[in-house]
Amino acid sequence: MLGAKSAGADCIAAATNTPDAIGLVREINRQGLKPKLLAETIGVVERTFLTSLGSLADGVVGNTQWWPTLKTPGNKQFVVGYEKLFSGAYPDYHSALGYSAFQVLDTAIRKVHSLDQTKLRDTIRRLSVPTVAGRFKVDENGLQVGFKTYMMQWQKGHAWLVFPPKVAQRKIQLPYSG
Protein backbone atom coordinates (compact mmCIF):
# COMPACT_ATOMS: atom_id res chain seq x y z
CA MET A 1 0.00 0.00 0.00
CA LEU A 2 2.76 2.44 0.84
CA GLY A 3 4.27 1.94 -2.62
CA ALA A 4 0.93 2.65 -4.26
CA LYS A 5 0.48 5.76 -2.14
CA SER A 6 3.96 7.14 -2.80
CA ALA A 7 3.56 6.44 -6.52
CA GLY A 8 0.22 8.25 -6.56
CA ALA A 9 -1.51 5.22 -8.08
CA ASP A 10 -4.51 6.15 -10.22
CA CYS A 11 -5.75 2.56 -10.36
CA ILE A 12 -5.70 -0.22 -7.84
CA ALA A 13 -6.82 -3.63 -9.07
CA ALA A 14 -6.81 -6.78 -6.97
CA ALA A 15 -7.81 -10.42 -7.19
CA THR A 16 -9.86 -10.92 -4.04
CA ASN A 17 -12.43 -12.98 -2.26
CA THR A 18 -14.77 -11.23 0.16
CA PRO A 19 -12.54 -11.02 3.28
CA ASP A 20 -9.57 -9.78 1.19
CA ALA A 21 -11.78 -7.31 -0.66
CA ILE A 22 -13.07 -5.83 2.60
CA GLY A 23 -9.59 -5.64 4.13
CA LEU A 24 -8.13 -3.97 1.05
CA VAL A 25 -10.77 -1.23 1.01
CA ARG A 26 -10.29 -0.59 4.72
CA GLU A 27 -6.52 -0.34 4.30
CA ILE A 28 -6.73 1.91 1.25
CA ASN A 29 -8.92 4.28 3.21
CA ARG A 30 -6.78 4.02 6.36
CA GLN A 31 -3.72 4.93 4.29
CA GLY A 32 -5.55 7.85 2.66
CA LEU A 33 -5.09 6.56 -0.89
CA LYS A 34 -7.32 8.21 -3.48
CA PRO A 35 -7.18 6.08 -6.63
CA LYS A 36 -9.39 7.07 -9.54
CA LEU A 37 -10.36 3.42 -9.99
CA LEU A 38 -10.59 0.73 -7.33
CA ALA A 39 -11.41 -2.61 -8.92
CA GLU A 40 -11.45 -6.01 -7.25
CA THR A 41 -12.60 -9.41 -8.40
CA ILE A 42 -15.49 -11.50 -7.09
CA GLY A 43 -15.28 -10.53 -3.40
CA VAL A 44 -16.95 -7.20 -4.13
CA VAL A 45 -20.19 -8.79 -5.35
CA GLU A 46 -21.16 -10.28 -1.98
CA ARG A 47 -23.69 -8.46 0.25
CA THR A 48 -21.21 -8.87 3.11
CA PHE A 49 -18.93 -6.46 1.27
CA LEU A 50 -21.48 -3.67 1.63
CA THR A 51 -22.64 -4.56 5.14
CA SER A 52 -19.02 -4.63 6.35
CA LEU A 53 -17.92 -1.40 4.68
CA GLY A 54 -20.97 0.84 4.43
CA SER A 55 -20.21 3.96 2.40
CA LEU A 56 -16.58 2.87 1.87
CA ALA A 57 -17.97 0.36 -0.65
CA ASP A 58 -19.30 3.13 -2.88
CA GLY A 59 -17.37 3.34 -6.11
CA VAL A 60 -15.67 -0.06 -5.87
CA VAL A 61 -15.91 -2.04 -9.12
CA GLY A 62 -16.13 -5.83 -9.23
CA ASN A 63 -16.82 -8.61 -11.70
CA THR A 64 -19.42 -11.34 -11.87
CA GLN A 65 -20.68 -14.02 -14.25
CA TRP A 66 -24.32 -13.59 -13.28
CA TRP A 67 -26.74 -10.83 -12.33
CA PRO A 68 -30.41 -10.98 -11.32
CA THR A 69 -31.49 -8.58 -14.08
CA LEU A 70 -29.89 -10.49 -16.97
CA LYS A 71 -32.35 -11.45 -19.68
CA THR A 72 -31.21 -15.07 -19.79
CA PRO A 73 -33.68 -17.97 -20.15
CA GLY A 74 -35.36 -18.67 -16.83
CA ASN A 75 -33.39 -16.08 -14.86
CA LYS A 76 -36.38 -14.09 -13.67
CA GLN A 77 -38.12 -17.28 -12.52
CA PHE A 78 -34.91 -18.42 -10.81
CA VAL A 79 -34.68 -15.17 -8.82
CA VAL A 80 -38.35 -15.26 -7.79
CA GLY A 81 -38.16 -18.97 -6.90
CA TYR A 82 -34.97 -18.50 -4.90
CA GLU A 83 -36.40 -15.60 -2.90
CA LYS A 84 -39.57 -17.58 -2.20
CA LEU A 85 -37.72 -20.75 -1.21
CA PHE A 86 -35.26 -18.92 1.04
CA SER A 87 -37.67 -16.46 2.71
CA GLY A 88 -36.73 -13.38 0.74
CA ALA A 89 -32.97 -14.05 0.69
CA TYR A 90 -31.26 -12.58 -2.33
CA PRO A 91 -29.53 -15.01 -4.74
CA ASP A 92 -25.92 -14.35 -5.67
CA TYR A 93 -23.66 -15.64 -8.41
CA HIS A 94 -22.79 -18.73 -6.35
CA SER A 95 -26.36 -19.94 -6.32
CA ALA A 96 -26.97 -18.96 -9.97
CA LEU A 97 -23.87 -20.73 -11.27
CA GLY A 98 -24.68 -23.78 -9.14
CA TYR A 99 -28.19 -23.81 -10.58
CA SER A 100 -26.72 -23.43 -14.08
CA ALA A 101 -24.48 -26.44 -13.47
CA PHE A 102 -27.54 -28.52 -12.66
CA GLN A 103 -29.27 -27.23 -15.79
CA VAL A 104 -26.32 -28.51 -17.81
CA LEU A 105 -26.21 -31.83 -15.96
CA ASP A 106 -29.96 -32.30 -16.41
CA THR A 107 -29.60 -31.71 -20.16
CA ALA A 108 -26.74 -34.21 -20.39
CA ILE A 109 -28.59 -36.90 -18.41
CA ARG A 110 -31.64 -36.50 -20.65
CA LYS A 111 -29.45 -36.88 -23.73
CA VAL A 112 -27.60 -40.03 -22.65
CA HIS A 113 -30.35 -41.57 -20.49
CA SER A 114 -27.64 -42.64 -18.08
CA LEU A 115 -25.55 -41.60 -15.10
CA ASP A 116 -22.41 -43.08 -16.64
CA GLN A 117 -19.69 -40.54 -15.84
CA THR A 118 -17.76 -40.98 -19.08
CA LYS A 119 -20.87 -40.62 -21.22
CA LEU A 120 -21.94 -37.54 -19.25
CA ARG A 121 -18.50 -35.93 -19.52
CA ASP A 122 -18.31 -36.53 -23.25
CA THR A 123 -21.82 -35.20 -23.78
CA ILE A 124 -21.26 -32.10 -21.63
CA ARG A 125 -18.15 -31.27 -23.66
CA ARG A 126 -20.32 -31.04 -26.78
CA LEU A 127 -23.27 -29.19 -25.25
CA SER A 128 -24.35 -25.65 -25.80
CA VAL A 129 -27.06 -25.05 -23.19
CA PRO A 130 -28.96 -21.88 -22.30
CA THR A 131 -28.84 -21.38 -18.52
CA VAL A 132 -29.73 -18.64 -16.05
CA ALA A 133 -26.07 -17.55 -16.25
CA GLY A 134 -26.06 -17.45 -20.05
CA ARG A 135 -25.01 -20.00 -22.64
CA PHE A 136 -22.94 -22.89 -21.30
CA LYS A 137 -20.33 -23.96 -23.84
CA VAL A 138 -16.81 -25.30 -23.44
CA ASP A 139 -13.93 -25.51 -25.88
CA GLU A 140 -11.98 -28.65 -26.81
CA ASN A 141 -9.98 -28.36 -23.56
CA GLY A 142 -13.09 -28.12 -21.41
CA LEU A 143 -12.68 -24.40 -20.69
CA GLN A 144 -15.85 -22.31 -20.43
CA VAL A 145 -16.27 -20.07 -23.48
CA GLY A 146 -20.01 -19.42 -23.36
CA PHE A 147 -20.59 -17.48 -20.15
CA LYS A 148 -19.90 -13.75 -20.15
CA THR A 149 -18.31 -11.64 -17.47
CA TYR A 150 -19.90 -8.41 -16.29
CA MET A 151 -18.68 -5.46 -14.26
CA MET A 152 -20.67 -4.11 -11.34
CA GLN A 153 -20.16 -1.14 -9.06
CA TRP A 154 -21.45 -0.16 -5.65
CA GLN A 155 -23.18 3.22 -5.89
CA LYS A 156 -24.92 4.83 -2.90
CA GLY A 157 -25.35 1.49 -1.17
CA HIS A 158 -26.66 -0.41 -4.20
CA ALA A 159 -24.95 -2.80 -6.58
CA TRP A 160 -25.44 -2.04 -10.27
CA LEU A 161 -24.18 -3.54 -13.50
CA VAL A 162 -22.01 -0.94 -15.23
CA PHE A 163 -20.54 -2.92 -18.13
CA PRO A 164 -21.06 -3.97 -20.87
CA PRO A 165 -23.33 -1.14 -22.03
CA LYS A 166 -25.92 -3.58 -23.41
CA VAL A 167 -26.86 -4.74 -19.89
CA ALA A 168 -25.59 -1.82 -17.78
CA GLN A 169 -28.05 -0.45 -15.25
CA ARG A 170 -25.94 2.61 -14.47
CA LYS A 171 -22.84 4.34 -15.82
CA ILE A 172 -19.59 3.70 -13.99
CA GLN A 173 -18.79 6.49 -11.52
CA LEU A 174 -15.21 7.67 -11.19
CA PRO A 175 -13.17 8.51 -9.25
CA TYR A 176 -13.52 6.04 -6.39
CA SER A 177 -15.30 7.92 -3.63
CA GLY A 178 -14.85 5.65 -0.57
pTM over 0.75: yes
DSSP structure class, residue 58: T
Task: For CA atoms 165, 74, 116, 113, give the dihedral sign.
Answer: negative
pLDDT in tens, 105-126: 999 999 999 999 999 999 999 9
Residues 127-147: what's their mean pLDDT? 94
DSSP structure class, residue 99: H
Domains of the chain are 2-65+149-163 (3.40.50.2300), 75-137 (no CATH)
Helix, strand, coil distribution of the chain in percent, nearest 5: 45, 20, 40
In angstroms, the CA 165 to CA 175 distance is 19
Residues 77-81: what's their mean pLDDT? 96
